[in-house]
Amino acid sequence: MKPTVHDIAAHAGVSLATVDRVLNGRAGVRPVTRQKVEAAIEALGFVRDVAAANLAKGRVYSFVFILPANDNSFMQNLRAEVRAAAERGLRERMSLATQDVPAFDVGALVAALERAERERPDGVAFVAIDAPEVRAAADRLMEQGIAVVTLVSDLSGSRRVHFAGIDNIAAGRTAGTLLGRFLGSRPGPVLPLAGSLMVRDHRERLEGFGAVMAQQFAARRILPVREGRDDPAETGRLVEEALRAHPDLAGIYSAGAGNRGLIRALEAQGAGPRPVVIVHELTGATREALSRERIDCVLNQDAGHEVRSAIRVLKAEADGSAVVAAQERIRIDIFLKDNLP
C-alpha cells in the first residue's frame, strides 16, 4: 500500500498542514521541521501524485504558443496541432492560447514574449528567431519562473528548458548525402535555398549540408545561398532566376519553406532534365510533387510530436517533475515516392 500524507505526518510528528507546506515548497516551516518531513518522505518512499494534487487544488495549467503568421504549410499544420491540443486540454485541465506574429519579425516576437511576461502563464513555447533581443526576452521569462520551450527552430545561448525539434545539422547532412549520391557523376552546380538565415534551423541545415558536400562531394559547385523568406512567389522567382543563369543546374536543396513556388518553377521549366530536388516537410504540395516525380525526396518532422513534446515539458516544469528524454526526441523522416504514408 502506497504511503500517504497522513503517514508522513504521523512519522514526522507534524500536522497535515505542515506536510502540505513542505510538499508545495511554501514558507512558514522551520528548517528542523522541514528536515523531519523530508526524512519521513524518504524513509516511507513517498511519491507524490502530482495530477491528483492539482485536481484537488483545482489547478489549470496555462501555456502560450507563439507562432509565425504566414501561409507556410508546415506552420499551418503546426497551428492545427496546437488547436487540437487546446481542445484536448479542456479535458486535461490545460488552457492553451496561441499568439500569431509576423514571420521573421524580431520586434514582433519580442513584443509577444514581453506580453507573456506580463500575463505570467505557466509556460511559453515559440518558434525562435535567433537574435540577441529574442534571447534576452526569453531569458527574462525564465528569470520570472515562466518555463520556455523553443519549437522547430532553437535559440542560441538561451536559458530555455527544451528544444522541441529535429537535429537540423543532421537533417542538412542527410540532405547532402542523398543529393550527392542521387547526382552521381551528373555535372552542374547545386542551388541551396533558405527561408531566412535569421532562423537557426535553416542555418544549421545549410551548415550540415555544406559540410557533407565539402567532405564527400568536393568537386560539386555549390551556388551562394538564396533566401526566399518562406514565400512561394519569391522562392519560385529565385529558382527561375537560377535556371536561367545556370541551364545545367543539377540540384536544389530547399532548407526552408515556400516550396509551392519551387515546384511551379520546375513545372514551367519545359523540356530537358530537371534538377534533383530535396526539400523539407511533407505537405499537400510536396506530397503531390513527390508522387508525380517533380521532386525526389522530402525530409519531414512531425509537427504533432513537437507540439505534444513542448506541452509535456512545460507541464513537467510546472510540476517540478522529470521528462523521459527518449520520448521527446523528434526523428527525421525520409520520404521517397515509394514510401509515402
Can you give the CATH number for the domain in which 192 is found?
3.40.50.2300
The answer as to whether 231 is a domain residue is yes
Give the pLDDT confidence score for residue 170 in this predicted structure.
98
The answer as to whether 338 is a domain residue is no
Nearest to 280 by CA among 179, 130, 163, 188: 179
Give the pLDDT confidence score for residue 246 in this predicted structure.
97
The answer as to whether 333 is a domain residue is no
C-beta atoms surrounding 313 within 10 Å: 23
The Cα 38–Cα 12 span in angstroms is: 9
Q: Domain check: are 179 and 289 in the same one?
A: yes
For residue 117, what is its C-alpha cell? Answer: 511576461
Residue 74, H or E segment: helix 73-89
The answer as to whether 201 is a domain residue is yes
Total-model pTM: 0.82
Q: Domain check: are 43 and 71 in the same one?
A: no
Q: Domain check: are 39 and 72 in the same one?
A: no
Task: For residue 322, give its domain range.
Answer: 59-164+303-328
**Longest Cα separation, the chain:** 86
Give the pLDDT confidence score for residue 60 in this predicted structure.
84
Q: Domain check: are 99 and 140 in the same one?
A: yes
Backbone angles phi, psi at 25, to 5 degrees: 65, 30
The answer as to whether 54 is a domain residue is no
Q: Domain check: are 74 and 149 in the same one?
A: yes
Report helix, strand or coil for 20. helix
Q: Domain check: are 250 and 130 in the same one?
A: no
Q: Domain check: are 15 and 66 in the same one?
A: no
Tens of each residue's pLDDT in the chain, 341 residues: 778 878 888 899 988 888 878 876 667 788 889 889 888 888 888 766 555 555 445 568 999 999 999 888 999 999 999 999 999 877 778 899 999 999 999 999 999 999 999 999 999 999 999 999 999 999 999 999 999 999 999 999 999 999 999 999 999 999 999 999 999 999 999 999 999 999 999 999 999 999 999 999 999 999 999 999 999 999 999 999 999 999 999 999 999 999 999 999 999 987 778 999 999 999 999 999 999 999 999 999 999 999 999 999 999 998 888 888 889 999 999 999 999 99
The answer as to whether 339 is a domain residue is no
SS3 content of the chain, % helix, strand, coil (to 5): 50, 15, 35
Q: Domain check: are 196 and 296 in the same one?
A: yes
Backbone angles phi, psi at 93, to 5 degrees: 60, 45
Location of C-alpha cell 528542523: 32
The answer as to whether 335 is a domain residue is no
The number of distinct structural domains making up the chain is: 3
Q: Domain check: are 37 and 14 in the same one?
A: yes
Q: What are the angstrom distances between the C-alpha of 60 and each of 30, 85, 95, 310?
A: 30, 14, 7, 17
The answer as to whether 101 is a domain residue is yes
Q: Domain check: are 203 and 224 in the same one?
A: yes
- Tell me, what CATH number does 28's domain have? 1.10.260.40
Pairing of strands 61-69, 276-280: unpaired
Give the pLDDT confidence score for residue 270 in this predicted structure.
76
Give the pLDDT confidence score for residue 41 in this predicted structure.
84
Q: Domain check: are 174 and 128 in the same one?
A: no
Q: What are the angstrom distances between the C-alpha of 105 and each of 101, 108, 111, 198?
A: 7, 5, 10, 10
Give the pLDDT confidence score for residue 117 in this predicted structure.
97
Q: Domain check: are 72 and 93 in the same one?
A: yes
